Amino acid sequence: MKFSKQENLVRLNERYTPLSPLKRMERLFSEIDHDRILMTSSFGTTSAILLHMISKIAPQHQVYLVSTGYLFNETLQYKKELKKKLGLNIVEVGAKENKHRFTQENQTWKYQNDLCCFINKVDATNQLKKGKDIWISGLLRFQNANRQHLRIFEPGNELLKFHPIIDMTAEDVSLYFTIYDLPQNKLYYQGYGSVGCTHCTEKGDQREGRWLSRQKTECGLHL
Ligand code: SF4
C-alpha cells in the first residue's frame, strides 16, 4: 500500500506504530515523493538519531538547520562534525536580517520570547513548508508533559507531522548513540539535557533547562 494524503490518520498510525523507528522512516521514504518531505534539525542532544537514519535512507535529502543567530558555538561545531561523519546535506536558513536585528535591539528573548521564537524560528521555518506535505520531527514523548499524547502522525497547521522516534525511551536513545557510535553535542557533557539558544538554555535534565523560570516550554515550532 502506498501513502496517500487522504488516508485516515487512524489508519496511518495503525500501519506505522508497530514498526521500529528506522522502519518507519524507511517506509515513509518508500511511500512518498522525497521532494514532499521536510526535514529540519536543531542539532541538539538527541538530533543525531534521525540524522543517522536519514544518512542511511536518503543521504542527499536536505536537512534544514534554522539558525536563530543565538545558537551555541558547540551546536555549530556539532553540525560540522555530524555533516562530516554522516555525509549530510545541510542547509542553514534563518530570519531576514532586519527582522533578526529587531530581536537583537529589543532583546526580545527577555521581554517577548514568543515573538522572538516566532521571528527567528517559526517564521523562518514557514518559508520551508511550501511544496511539502510532511514534516519529520524528532520529538520524544518522555521529554515533557506536552508531548505525552503525540502519535506518530499528527495533523499540523499546514503539513502532516511525522514523529518516527516519539516512543523511544531515554534508554533507547542512549543505546542508539552507543550502537552506532554517534558523537554527542558537547553541551550534553556539560549538563545540558536539551539545547536551544544561548539566551534561553540552562543546564538541567531533559528539557527542564529550556526557558527556565519562564512560562514557556516549547518554541512553537512543533506544538
Ligand atoms: S529560544 Fe530564546 S533566543 Fe531563541 S528564538 Fe526563542 S526566545 Fe529567541
Q: Is 120 in the pocket of ligand 1 (CB under 6 A)?
A: yes
User: Is residue 91 one of the residues assigned to a domain?
Assistant: yes
Domain of residue 156, residue span: 9-187
Query: Is 211 among the domain residues?
Result: no
- Residue 3 falls inside a structural domain: no
**DSSP letter string over 61-106?**
SEEEEE--S-B-HHHHHHHHHHHHHHT-EEEEE---HHHHHHHHHT
Q: Is residue 217 part of a domain?
A: no
The pLDDT of residue 3 is 67
CATH of the domain at 42: 3.40.50.620
Place of cell 489508519: 11
In a domain, 194, yes or no: no
Cα 10 from chain centroid?
23
pLDDT the model gives residue 147: 81
Cβ of 37 below 6 Å from ligand 1? no
Q: How many domains does the chain have?
A: 1
Is the per-residue pLDDT at 1 higher than 50? no
pLDDT tier, 145 (very low <50, low <70, confident <90, very high otherwise): confident
**How high does pLDDT run on average in the chain?**
91
Sheet holding 37-39, edge to edge: 37-39, 134-136, 160-162, 153-155
Main-chain dihedrals φ then ψ at residue 183, nearest 5 degrees: -70, 160
Does 216 fall in a domain? Answer: no
Does 44 contact ligand 1 (Cβ within 6 A)?
no
Does residue 212 form part of some domain?
Answer: no
Q: Is the pLDDT of residue 58 over 50?
A: yes
72 lines ligand 1 (CB under 6 A): no
Which are the catalytic amino acids? 219
Asked whether residue 32 is assigned to any structural domain, the reply reads yes
Distance 105 CA to ligand 1 centre (A): 14
Which is more confident, 138 or 203? 138
Share of the chain above pLDDT 90, in %: 76
Distance CA(187)–CA(193), nearest Å, equals 8
* Radius of gyration in angstroms for the set of CA atoms belonging to the chain, rounded to a whole number: 17
The protein residue whose alpha carbon is closest to atom 6 in ligand 1 is: 117
Q: What pLDDT score was predicted for residue 148?
A: 86
